[in-house]
Amino acid sequence: MSAGISRVGVVGGGQMGAGIAEVCARSGLDTVVCEVDAIAARAARDRVAASLDRAVGRGKLERAAADEALNRLVFSGDLGDLADRQLVVEAVVENRDAKTEVFAALDKIVEDPAAVLATNTSSLPVTRLGMATARADRVVGLHFFNPVPVLPLVEVVTSLHTSAGTTALVEEFATRTLGKTVVRSQDRAGFVVNALLIPYLLSAVRMAESGFATAAGIDAAMELGCAHPLGPLGLADLIGLDTVAAIAESLYDEFREPLYAPSPLLQRMVQAGLLGRKSGRGFHTYDQGRGPGPRVEGPAPSPGPR
């Protein structure tokens, strides 16, 4: 275990939080997942259990190991259960106010002054989150990628206050304990991956919006012409169109570059609740029980009720 870190907390049990909790538990860590209430906590447990079952079904994990991992997890609706954690990873909605509120609360709850408070933000300033606490030197970005149990990358993002010791600790934790590959980034909107990825996704959205090509055609072109495993609009659906829009807004707020601005279609789809795979419909349609369904033809889906 990395430098004695054996007790981890995760705030948020959605797609990302559940994945982070799963990889921690599979790495032998005592892990507590906190959600807004007991109902959401149970849903988070179901999400992790389903992911472990899929890993077993694909032959990636033994049944006994999956059961052991689930037994290492505690799901709670009370942030107070994180008091004894040595590392807490925040993975709530990509909203500055929501994340700032979590960090301010964790600063009061987590008892060990040497504990690390990490954020899984895709684009928001780590410095600002750290300033919501009295331990900004122990606050760092620890940005995982979806699906967390599968993708090997973690971006470690240091703020102007993050200490060298904190950075070294989380890098060792991510690499030696979780088995991930680390790329270090400065504290700039989008970090490394999303600063490169989001303009590409937004270009595909604008191409569909203009009627230049269909959503299916755009994705097929990049999958078959460039050997991408998933086209840009399918990838946007996987990430979640609300998350793509939020990252784009953060990038645009910081850099004021037009290529970062979310398009009207993307904004309307988010407003309509057409968020991609997690809602069953985005640029493509999905059977939520079985994964991708038939692709939607036409320049783009019409934003409206499902």
Q: What is the full DSSP assignment across 77-108? A: S-GGGGTT-SEEEE---S-HHHHHHHHHHHHH
Query: What is the C-alpha to C-alpha distance for residues 69 and 60, in angstroms, rounded to an integer?
Result: 14
Catalytic annotation present for 95: no
Residue 243 CA to residue 251 CA, distance in Å, equals 12
- Is residue 143 annotated as a catalytic residue, yes or no? yes
Residue in the structure block whose two tokens are 């060298």:
164
- Options 120, 155, 250, 263, the catalytic residue: 155
Report the distance separating Cα 210 and Cα 225, nearest Å.
21
Choosing from 122, 123, 159, 185, the catalytic residue is 122
Among the options 2, 35, 94, 143, which is catalytic?
A: 143
Q: How many CB atoms lie within 10 A of CB 230?
A: 14
| 194 catalytic residue (yes or no) | yes
From 269, 257, 261, select the one nearest 296 (Cα to Cα): 269
Mark residue 146 as left, alpha or beta (left: phi above 0; alpha: psi -120 to 50; beta: remaining): beta
The single residue of 76, 194, 263, 279 carrying the catalytic annotation is: 194
Residue 113 has phi, psi (to 5 degrees) of -65, -15
Cβ 87 vs Cβ 8: under 8 Å = yes
Rounded Cα–Cα distance for residues 119 and 110 (Å): 15
- SS3 per-residue string spanning 105-125: HHHHHCCCCCCEEEECCCCCC
Rounded to whole angstroms, the Cα distance separating 298 from 213 reads: 8
Active site positions, annotated: 122, 143, 155, 194
